[in-house]
Structure 1
């Protein structure tokens, strides 16, 4: 596609510029300034939302619908060790999740739609969203009425993904990424000397029993045909080797593709912990933090995408990772998909959030091409 070749160097330049300035969620000020400057150069009008987010509407000549595309903007608090040509200039921050690539693809789309090679028929909304990594910028934008204000009929989102080989696009119909939440369990026992355990209430023993019991919730309470994960990833307890621990804290996560299953797991955690507290005559407190809903791809949009991308698509299994793109999908039909980055020959094999995560710049053209294909297939642009 000639337009890709024409835009290639600028897209690569955008990625380098954005890669150097990763910022935390809702603090993407340099990132937002760069994006605003580039959009202004193209003569594209936009509004700033949620502090650093940007929403830009490109109006078609005879619109019958508005198609939205979303990119995330934030980086991660990771010290960079990647093979990228120049490391982050922000100490202990890097684009370890590829959001520099996502933004570059979106700027590429803005440039393509602004060029003389493309005639824009329908409206296209470009959403540059802050804080995908947390606490979740998508929910704030949706609650602010962005989708309603611009009468969005459908929305698309991309994520680079090292579990899919370079040159392929990975996606699936229906549930694709999990609903997620966190829980903390604080156990208040009674400290005592280790030589006199009968005078205390051992927080470590109770915590151990809770950990083992929680493992039965998914295996013995959730139907085996409903995928779910309950993980206790952190346990803190104790002061010294010869002291009975008076307090213990467990931290964990819940993931499921189904809200009913997710809520069932929460209920069983509460019931089980209440029983343990009663048995040991201690106070146990639980705090849940419900995070992102499941990413559920619209069947119609999935079928269309497969039809016009053909062999480039790879139907993958649903993933237990999460994404706040799901908030948009609760309002309008949406499709989320992965642009493959795995390339063993070039050592682009490291997972998302790794300090060594990197990818070939040419995958940015795969993403941009998919955007253009969506609009071409739907008759929203003419090239």
Structure 2
């Protein structure tokens, strides 16, 4: 994909914005300094129609003279509780927090796009809404904004977003129609038994023994209750319980995640986790309390919007396989047509290979320009219709 000269001219400022934002990472719904930086930059571009939502969300609106749809472009703005290990001179100044998922790059892309639109108002068709969204990593800023009336207030017709992705080489634009990222949920199991002396196990109900059986039993759900033609993941990454090596424990807690590419499979997993965990616990004289936190839905790309992106990206476009990662951009797609795509940032020679959420995740900002180029051309393509 060829980057237009006017977009390439933005590179110095895109780099500066990304590195400035990288130094001030803030967790979800705490992004005060980040929001202030965004508003300062929008004002410098001459964009004055700016709204504050949810305390830290920023919305900028640009109105074109030509008729067209209302297109929203969304970036996430929050960081992660990760200690940075990149060693770069612009590293995080907030200990224990880092933009380890590329949201600094997403914001720099959006600011570059805003800068471009402000300088080229004739390219704006309809209404362009630039959404700087908090709390993607949690608790889910997209749903909070939807509940707050964002989509209806701004009368959004379609929404577009992107994510830098180290699975693809620099310069690649990757997407697919329909399911691209998974629906996800959190599982919390509390196994209640009866404590006793380890030398007298018959007087207790061993919550650890029950927990081990429950974990093994739950792992049969994907292999025995889900069609082999479907994809699903069930992972338990945390278990806590017990007080001493010679005491039968009366309480164990297990935490995990489940993911699927369809609501039907996800609901099957939910029902089976509930049944298997509670019934197995009874077999060991224990009780299991099952709680779910149902989080994001399937990232489900509108096929017509994907075709527009493929046309724009040309030989830079590849069709991505679906990933079990989750994204709260999916919550917008429950309500209106949406397009979410990956921007490749992998370069093994430069050492840009660390996965998302790693303390070593880094990238070359030059390749953020591909996202800006796609955004500017999508305005025209999405207003052509079918």
The aligned residue for residue 254 of structure 2 is 250
Secondary structure of the residue aligned to 1:113 is helix
State whether residues 83 and 359 of structure 2, in contact with CA within 8 Å, keep that contact through their aligned partners in structure 1: yes
Superposed, 1:152-163 pairs within 5 Å as 152-163=156-167
The aligned residue for residue 300 of structure 1 is 304
1:317-338 deviations in Å (ceiling 9; x for gaps): 1000100001111111101011
The aligned residue for residue 2 of structure 1 is 5
Are 2:193 and 1:183 equivalent residues in the alignment? no
Give 1:28's match in structure 2, choosing from 12, 28, 31.
31
**Which moved further from structure 2: 369-378 or 248-257?**
369-378
1:48-90 deviations in Å (ceiling 9; x for gaps): 0011001111001022211110000001111111143321111
1:271-303 deviations in Å (ceiling 9; x for gaps): 112322332332221111111111100111111
Distance 1:308 1:319, change over 3 A: same
State whether residues 292 and 324 of structure 1, in contact with CA within 8 Å, keep that contact through their aligned partners in structure 2: yes
Secondary structure of the residue aligned to 1:362 is helix
The alignment of Structure 1 onto Structure 2 pairs a total of residues equal to 380
State whether residues 184 and 286 of structure 1, in contact with CA within 8 Å, keep that contact through their aligned partners in structure 2: yes
Secondary structure of the residue aligned to 1:162 is strand
Superposed, 1:287-366 pairs within 5 Å as 287-366=291-370
Secondary structure of the residue aligned to 1:65 is strand
The aligned residue for residue 14 of structure 1 is 17
Secondary structure of the residue aligned to 2:59 is strand
CA distance in 1, matches of 2:282, 2:98: 47
CA distance in 1, matches of 2:121, 2:189: 58
Are 2:110 and 1:106 equivalent residues in the alignment? yes
Secondary structure of the residue aligned to 2:326 is coil
State whether residues 22 and 99 of structure 2, in contact with CA within 8 Å, keep that contact through their aligned partners in structure 1: yes
CA distance in 1, matches of 2:8, 2:253: 55
**Which moved further from structure 2: 234-243 or 328-337?**
234-243
CA distance in 2, matches of 1:38, 1:263: 44
Q: CA RMSD in A?
A: 1.4
State whether residues 158 and 336 of structure 2, in contact with CA within 8 Å, keep that contact through their aligned partners in structure 1: yes
CA distance in 2, matches of 1:277, 1:117: 64
**Which moved further from structure 2: 5-14 or 268-277?**
268-277
Structure 2 spans left out of the alignment, 5+ residues: none
CA distance in 2, matches of 1:118, 1:82: 41
**Which moved further from structure 2: 249-258 or 81-90?**
81-90
CA distance in 1, matches of 2:330, 2:100: 21
Superposed, 1:201-212 pairs within 5 Å as 201-212=205-216
Give 1:68's match in structure 2, choosing from 62, 66, 72.
72
1:74-108 deviations in Å (ceiling 9; x for gaps): 01111111143321111111111111110010010
Q: CA deviation at 1:246?
A: 1.7
CA distance in 1, matches of 2:382, 2:276: 52
State whether residues 3 and 117 of structure 1, in contact with CA within 8 Å, keep that contact through their aligned partners in structure 2: no
Q: CA deviation at 1:118?
A: 4.7
CA distance in 2, matches of 1:133, 1:99: 10
State whether residues 193 and 243 of structure 1, in contact with CA within 8 Å, keep that contact through their aligned partners in structure 2: yes
Give 2:55's match in structure 1, choosing from 51, 56, 62.
51
Q: CA deviation at 1:192?
A: 1.7
Distance 1:358 1:201, change over 3 A: same
The aligned residue for residue 89 of structure 1 is 93
The aligned residue for residue 223 of structure 1 is 227
State whether residues 84 and 358 of structure 1, in contact with CA within 8 Å, keep that contact through their aligned partners in structure 2: no
Structure 1 spans left out of the alignment, 5+ residues: none
